[in-house]
């Protein structure tokens, strides 16, 4: 066997990824590469990826957290302290184009699995390291998403002004760091294809968090303004928040004065669009409390779905607040097909979010059971030459 996947397809079908990562940021990045055809080999300690025990919820006896970030991978169990297993992981890396790892900084050096050790023999290797706070002064700080949400300032922006700071409802910065990692890996692959040179890619959740907060971090860096917690209000736009209706809240997200005028028309309150307090966005943000009272009085006779239909037809951004089940149902109703199935058991998985006109993602492999592909991967090693400095197998 010369390839662990017969007849591989997809734009990354010639790429092999050694996924030495665990939990979310690294596994998520490797999964997205696998969706695009890369052969991804997930290397786990005998105790398994920690997320296998992040439960509830479960599907059967498997953690849905683990399932969320590990499709399109083959799995092998290796203990780096065992000489034979260490030799096997090196053989996998010798046949890989990309390594993804998120070990504690410096932990892999003692096994000769750090970038300088590997690049000496494989200068074309693309080696991706993900940490919480970098490999310098922050190397000793455990890199958990919740800690990053706190230290980056995100939590200071979430929640009501008179309540405690609130975390995001999922591991936001793990996911964002995984997405940054994918773009970095693809850029490095392109560079390698042009020059033959690999490189080390270092990402950390802290820098990813500060970059992802975009306007809020730039408000301080460029304007000296420290953003504050405003609940569901927006610091620069109004109306841009939930508003009470006859049954449940409705998000109204007006982004410009034209949309505000259309909102006023649907609410049969054209006078608000010409009121000096509300005609321009800068004034609306100043008079947001008075504007809220006027809008909620106009919304009171009907429910959120009624206003959603009417305002959407008029081109006013708005939305009822769904739970996750409602979100998936809404996307399904729009024909966005948010759920795919994968594997012989038709396991549900959330679809890859990009539509490609020529190279669509594929759903080939359900997330591996612990050590599921040990024998298959060892057979692949035995029949596949290591890659040489040009990135090709020889």
| Contact yes or no for 109/117 (Cβ under 8 A) | yes
Torsion of CA 116, 122, 123, 126, to 10 degrees: -80
For residue 350, how far is the Cα from the chain centroid?
A: 12
- Residue 313: Cβ-neighbour burial (10 angstroms; 0-12, 13-18, 19+): exposed
Residues 367, 102: Cα–Cα separation, whole Å: 19
Q: How far apart are CA 211 and CA 135, in angstroms?
A: 18
Residues 6+ apart with CB under 8 A from 209: 148, 149, 152, 154, 173, 176
* pTM for the predicted model, two decimal places: 0.93
What's the burial of 171, exposed, middle or buried (CB within 10 Å: 0-12/13-18/19+)? Answer: buried
CATH topology of domain 16-213+340-383: Rossmann fold (3.40.50)
Beta strands in 82-223 (DSSP E): 98-101, 126-131, 199-204
For the chain, domain boundaries? 16-213+340-383, 250-320
Q: Which residues are known catalytic residues?
A: 174
Q: Which CATH number fits domain 250-320: 1.20.1740.10, 3.30.1540.10, 3.40.1440.10, 3.90.1150.10?
A: 3.30.1540.10
Q: Could you read off the pLDDT tens digit of each residue along the chain, which spans 394 residues? A: 345 565 568 999 999 999 999 999 999 999 999 999 999 999 999 999 999 999 999 999 999 999 999 999 999 999 999 999 999 999 999 999 999 999 999 999 999 999 999 999 999 999 999 999 999 999 999 999 999 999 999 999 999 999 999 999 999 999 999 999 999 999 999 999 999 999 999 999 999 999 999 999 999 999 999 999 999 999 999 999 999 999 999 999 999 999 999 999 999 999 999 999 999 999 999 999 999 999 999 999 999 999 999 999 999 999 999 999 999 999 999 999 999 999 999 999 999 999 999 999 999 999 999 999 999 999 999 999 988 655 565 4
pLDDT for the residue numbered 230: 93
């Amino acid at each position: 066997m010369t390839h662990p996947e017969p007849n591989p397809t997809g734009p990354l079908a010639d790429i092999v990824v050694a996924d030495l990562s665990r939990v979310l940021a690294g596994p998520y990045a490797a999964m997205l590469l696998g969706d695009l055809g890369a052969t991804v080999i997930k290397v786990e300690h005998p105790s398994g990826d920690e997320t296998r025990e992040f439960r509830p919820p479960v599907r059967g006896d498997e953690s849905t957290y683990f399932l969320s970030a590990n499709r399109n991978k083959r799995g092998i169990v290796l203990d780096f302290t065992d000489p034979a297993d260490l030799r096997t992981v090196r053989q996998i890396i010798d046949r890989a184009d990309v390594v993804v790892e998120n070990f504690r900084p410096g932990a892999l050096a003692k096994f000769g699995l750090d970038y300088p050790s590997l690049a000496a023999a494989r200068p074309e290797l693309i080696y991706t390291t993900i940490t919480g706070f970098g490999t310098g002064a922050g190397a000793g700080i455990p890199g958990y998403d919740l800690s990053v949400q706190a230290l980056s300032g995100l939590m200071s922006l979430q929640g009501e002004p008179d309540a405690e700071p609130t975390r995001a409802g999922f591991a936001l910065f793990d996911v964002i760091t995984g997405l940054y990692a994918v773009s970095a890996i693809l850029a490095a692959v392109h560079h390698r294809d042009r020059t033959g040179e690999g490189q080390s890619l270092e990402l950390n959740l802290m820098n990813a968090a500060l970059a992802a907060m975009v306007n809020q971090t730039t408000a301080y860096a460029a304007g000296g303004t420290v953003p504050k917690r405003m609940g569901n209000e927006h610091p620069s736009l109004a109306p841009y928040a939930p508003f009470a209706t006859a049954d449940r809240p409705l998000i109204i997200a007006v982004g410009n004065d034209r949309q505000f005028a259309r909102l006023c028309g649907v609410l049969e309150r054209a006078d608000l669009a010409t009121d000096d307090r509300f005609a321009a966005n800068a004034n609306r943000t100043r008079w947001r409390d008075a504007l809220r009272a006027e809008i909620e009085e106009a919304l009171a006779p009907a429910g959120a779905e009624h206003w959603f239909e009417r305002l959407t037809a008029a081109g006013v951004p708005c939305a009822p607040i769904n739970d996750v089940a409602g979100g998936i149902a809404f996307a399904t109703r729009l024909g966005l097909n948010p759920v795919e199935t994968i594997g012989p058991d038709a396991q549900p998985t959330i679809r890859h979010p990009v539509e490609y006109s020529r190279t669509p993602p594929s759903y080939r492999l359900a997330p591996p059971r612990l050590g599921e592909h040990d024998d298959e991967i060892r057979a692949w090693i035995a029949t596949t030459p290591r890659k040489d400095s040009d990135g090709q197998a020889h």
